[in-house]
């Protein structure tokens, strides 16, 4: 049986420049979630759960419009950007 890693796309930024991008780890993190490894998924890509929450809310809002949906979506997006950029800075410059 083939592992999920065999189907994953390589990061072009890491392949060509040797530096991880802000999205590095998201594919492996999703694969870990499907395998039930939630803690490992968080360690691989800390923004995975807030991204899932954001996209779930956007999908839910598509079918039922909520009064403050715009503010909630913007707040979740800002939180995700902070986590993604913070994780990138930690991985790239501090480690």
pLDDT at 40: 94
More confident residue, 66 or 72: 72
pLDDT value of residue 2? 55
Q: How would you class 71 by CB atoms within 10 Å of its CB: exposed for 0-12, middle for 13-18, buried for 19 or more?
A: exposed
Q: Which residue has the higher pLDDT, 87 or 6?
A: 87
Average pLDDT over every residue of 76-89: 95
Query: What is the per-residue pLDDT for 21?
Result: 84
Rg (CA), the chain: 15
Q: Tens digits of per-residue pLDDT, 37-57? A: 999 999 999 999 999 999 999
DSSP codes of every residue in 27-66: HHHHHHHHTT-HHHHHHH-TTHHHHHHHHHHHHHHHHS--
Residues listed for the chain: 95
- The DSSP code for 9 is P
């Amino acid at each position: 049986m083939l592992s999920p890693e065999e189907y994953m796309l390589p990061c072009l930024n890491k392949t060509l420049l040797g530096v991880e991008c802000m999205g590095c780890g998201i594919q492996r993190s999703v694969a870990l979630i499907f395998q039930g490894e939630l803690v490992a998924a968080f360690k691989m890509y800390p923004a995975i759960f807030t991204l899932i929450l954001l996209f779930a809310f956007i999908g839910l809002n598509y079918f039922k419009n909520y009064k403050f949906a715009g503010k909630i979506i913007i707040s979740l997006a800002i939180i995700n950007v902070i986590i993604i950029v913070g994780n990138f800075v930690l991985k790239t410059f501090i480690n």
